[in-house]
Amino acid sequence: MKKLIMTSALFLTMAQANVSINTASFQEQTTVNASGEQVVEWVKASKVIPGTIIRYVNSLENSGSQLATKLVVNNPIPKNMEYILNSATCQSACNISYSVDDGKTFKEASNLFVGVGKARHLAKASEYTNIKWILNSLEATAQSAVAYKARLK
């Protein structure tokens, strides 16, 4: 069993707001209910083995009295994880971009390339190193979340 390493960085830019973040990781768990039906739910990640899909959730809360604008969440993908293509989401209006150089530059997935010369190719999801969300705004006393899924190598 490999140990799951949770690495998360958050960079927030705000004016007169008080935004905090809580980061958590979840894994799918299948149980059988009283009717004998299989039920799949997301539970806190604990025993993670290679191939397990983890859902990382960054919950944001603006406990201030002002609107927070242009919130930037930069989340590194842990080194032992592979990003699951198209799994990055946000609860509020936002822009999502990706990096293949440990967060130095970000682009939309369709414009993200790696390699040089004949080896240059559109980056595969497994080559992404970071995900960046820019939330347009977060109202005072409001909450939102950004999330993505990755597979343990």
Q: What are the backbone angles phi and psi of residue 135, rounded to the nearest 5°?
A: -85, 130
Cβ contact 127:100 at 8 Å: yes
Question: pLDDT for 36-84, tens place per residue?
Answer: 999 989 999 988 899 999 999 999 999 988 999 999 999 999 999 999 9
Average predicted confidence (pLDDT) for the chain: 89
| CATH code for the domain defined by 19-29+38-152 | 2.60.40.2260
Select the more confidently predicted residue: 18 or 98.
98
Q: What is the mean pLDDT of residues 25-40?
A: 91
- Is pLDDT of 8 > 80? no
What integer pLDDT is reported at residue 14 of this predicted model?
42
What integer pLDDT is reported at residue 46 of this predicted model?
87
Residue 133: its H or E element: strand 130-138
What integer pLDDT is reported at residue 16 of this predicted model?
55
What confidence tier does 106 reach under pLDDT thresholds 50, 70, 90? very high
What integer pLDDT is reported at residue 76 of this predicted model?
97
Name, in order, each residue with C-beta under 8 angstroms of 53's C-beta and a sequence gap of 6 or more. 27, 28, 84, 149, 150, 151
Select the more confidently predicted residue: 4 or 118.
118
- Is pLDDT of 35 > 70? yes
Quote the percentage of the chain above a pLDDT of 90. Answer: 78
What integer pLDDT is reported at residue 13 of this predicted model?
43
Residue type at position 24 = A
Numbers of helices and strands, H then E, in the chain: 0, 11
What integer pLDDT is reported at residue 4 of this predicted model?
44
Domain limits, the chain:
19-29+38-152
